[in-house]
Chain A
Amino acid sequence: MTKLVVDQAGYQVEGRQIWHDISFELHDGDWVTVVGPSGGGKSTLLKAIAGLQDITEGHIFLNDEDVMRLPIGDYRQQVSYATQSAQLFGETVRDNLDLPYLVRQQTPNEQQQIAGLEQMDLPADYLDKAVTELSGGERQRVGVLRNLLFPPKVLLLDEISTGLDAETKQVIWRAIHALHARERLIVLSVTHDEGEIADAQDILTIQNGEGARRHEQSN
């Protein structure tokens, strides 16, 4: 069971209030589409939930524990943030796919890594490909795969398919939907994509510094 509670959260930066008084509660299996105008604060909200920056008011709880009191490294393994135009680090694809193991003090499992690449429609020998030699779509697939190798409890997707071709988009979403169905993770997905918004059943709109959630009960 996973429960993520955002309780009257607010975020200020450089004396400017980006959003305030945002509250919602999510349970395993929930899939929330986050929408709103550019500069409205969607990315900052997701980064705050991931503990990559701290809210300045209110609280965030994961399974009734205040995020500010949880060991931050363990927390980020559970609440995983993936961004648009993922930056790859190190020299090769392997460096990127090794990191999720290293943060868990595990030896990288090459078979799992290759299975992941194949799920992302990338050949096994890409493991030793230089990150500088990847196309934009390939880079994004490797980037997202880093977040999926160890299924988190909460997956935060910040416009991960923006600017990708239809086929790459489909590959990435297929992998995420499969994981969502199997592991019942909580997904928060920021998008500007009309089609995605039209399909969404649970929408959180971040606008004018406020958050409004519209939930269509369709099940």
Chain B
Amino acid sequence: MNSQINVSNWSLALAFILVVISLVISYRQKLKLEKETIISVVRAIVQLIIVGYLLKFIFNVDNWLLTLIMQLFIIYNAARNGKKRSQGIPGAFVISWWGLLLSTTITMSILVLTGVLKFEPYQMIPVTGMVAGNSMTAVGLVYRSLNQQFRDQQGQVFERLALGASPKLAAGEIVREAIRTGMQPTIDSVRTYGLVSLPGMMSGLIMAGVDPIHAIKYQIMVVFMLLSATGISSVFASFMAYRKFFNERWQLQLPKK
């Protein structure tokens, strides 16, 4: 790993020109995105600096408990984000939390138990972030799909209930569609791997000087990992969240936004 790329502070400052370009575009085109752009750039810089030092600290300490806490913290943040995307589905945080915990735990355990990954902070934490992040996106899509479908198909669900169907039977199709929606982006992006984009992990490894053939192995692992993680979290979130659209008297109750 001697050909590592190294970004000097000076070249990073110059790269800030890129932000200026987007600010100029926003200003000229009256997009009114200047303020938002500056805030998000500053936020990103601050967050990344903090995380950078935090990671350096955790890697140095190399303590399994600290690693575990950091992993749970990542999942907690992802679950909060999942709740935000739920448009008022009751109990969305709890569902997101357990869904993400389940998908991350299963996926990571398999990777560790099969010896693909080592339980070391420098491996565990980035991969947990990747798994939890993708699961979070999947869960968010599941919520959006459920909200959308229950609103669009209110009449059909009502008719099923009127005929005596349980919520499970009345919402069966909706739940299946929500699961598909949650998993679709992962499947789609995997399909174009190498053709359109070199996925993040692989690019990172190659830029860091790793042999592409070696990097491929990691990327294949990532594919397996993301398919499993989005699958588990989509199934869990769909099955837990659809119930929230009904009360205990089997009546449809759309969440108030």
Residue ranges of A at the interface with B (Cβ–Cβ < 8 Å):
50-54, 72-77, 80-83, 86-90, 99-100, 102-104, 143, 146-147
Q: Are A76 and B163 neighbours in the complex by a CB distance under 8 Å?
A: yes
- A83: B residues at CB distance < 8 A: 159, 162
Given contacts A53-B251, A54-B249, A54-B251, whether A90 and B173 have CB atoms under 8 Å apart is yes
B161 interface residue (CB < 8 Å to A): yes
Query: Which residues of A are found within 8 Å of B166, using beta-carbon distances?
Result: 73, 103
For the complex formed, measure the closest distance between the CB of B254 and the CB atoms of chain A, giving whole angstroms.
13
Which positions in B face A, CB cutoff 8 Å?
A: 153, 155-166, 169, 173, 249-251
Known: A51-B249, A53-B251, A102-B169. A76 touches B161 (CB 8 A): yes
Docked Cα-Cα span, A167 to B12, in Å, equals 79
Chosen A-B contacts, 14 in total, with CB atoms closer than 8 Å, are: A50-B162, A51-B251, A52-B251, A73-B166, A76-B250, A77-B163, A81-B162, A83-B159, A89-B153, A89-B160, A99-B160, A99-B169, A102-B165, A102-B169
A82 to B158, CA, bound (A): 11
Contact call B173/A52, Cβ cutoff below 8 A: no
Specify which chain A residues have a CB less than 8 angstroms from the CB of B164 in the assembled complex.
73-77, 80, 100, 103-104
* Cβ A52 vs Cβ B163 within 8 A: no
Known contacts A82-B162, A88-B159; 9 further A-B pairs (Cβ under 8 A): A73-B166, A74-B164, A76-B161, A80-B163, A88-B156, A89-B173, A99-B165, A100-B164, A103-B166
In the complex, what residue of chain B is closest to A73 when comparing beta carbons?
B164
A81 to B165, CA, bound (A): 13
Check A146 against B163 for contact (C-beta < 8 Å): yes
Q: Whole-angstrom distance between the alpha carbons of A89 and B164 in the complex?
A: 14
Most buried by B among A52, A81, A89, A99: A89
The answer for the CA separation of A72 and B161 in the assembled complex, in Å, is 10
A72 near B250 (CB under 8 angstroms)? yes
Evaluate whether A103 and B162 lie within 8 angstroms (CB atoms) in the complex, with A52-B251, A54-B251, A90-B173 already known: no
Shortest CB-to-CB span from B145 to chain A, Å, is 17
Q: Which residues of A contact B162 (CB under 8 A)?
A: 50, 52, 76, 80-83
- CA distance in complex: A99, B173 (Å): 13
The 8 Å CB contact of B163, one of A51, A90, A147, is: A147
- Chain A residues, CB < 8 A from B153: 89
Alpha-carbon distance A95/B159, docked complex (angstroms): 13
The complex places the Cα of A83 from the Cα of B173 at a distance, in Å, of: 22
Distance in angstroms from A59 CB to nearest chain B CB is 15
Q: Which residues of the other chain, B, contact A75 by a CB distance below 8 angstroms?
A: 164
When distances are taken between beta carbons in the complex, the residues of chain A under 8 Å from B156 are 87-89
Contacts of B161 in A (CB 8 A): 52, 76
Asked if A103 and B159 make an inter-chain contact with CB atoms under 8 angstroms apart, the answer reads no
In angstroms, Cα B246 to Cα A51, docked, is: 13
Q: Give Cα distance in the complex from A53 to B161, angstroms.
A: 11
List the B residue with the shortest CB-CB distance to A87: B155
Q: Closest approach, in angstroms, between the C-beta of B176 and any C-beta of chain A? A: 12
A87 to B161, CA, bound (A): 12
